[in-house]
C-alpha cells in the first residue's frame, strides 16, 4: 500500500480526534502561550 493511502486511512480512523484537537487549539488565545498544555496531550 502506498504512503498516501496509509496516511488517508489513519486520518479517517482518527478524524473526530483530529477535529476536536484543532477546535481546542483554535479556542486558546495565543497571546498568553496557554496552548502548550493542549499541544502536549
Integer angstrom CA distances of residue 28 from 13, 15, 32: 25, 21, 9
Q: How many domains does the chain have?
A: 1
Q: Return the pLDDT at 2.
A: 93
How does pLDDT run across 1-41, given as a tens digit for each residue?
699 999 999 999 999 999 999 998 888 776 656 666 666 66
| pTM value surpassing 0.75 | no
- Grid cell at residue 15: 478524524
CA 21, 27, 31, 37 torsion-angle sign: negative
| Domain extent for 33 | 3-39
User: Contact, 24 vs 38, CB < 8 A?
Assistant: yes
CA dist 20 to 5, 7, 26, Å?
23, 19, 10
Amino acid at each position: 500500500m502506498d504512503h498516501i493511502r496509509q496516511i488517508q486511512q489513519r486520518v479517517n480512523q482518527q478524524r473526530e480526534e483530529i477535529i476536536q484537537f484543532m477546535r481546542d487549539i483554535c479556542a486558546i488565545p495565543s497571546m498568553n502561550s496557554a496552548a502548550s498544555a493542549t499541544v502536549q496531550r
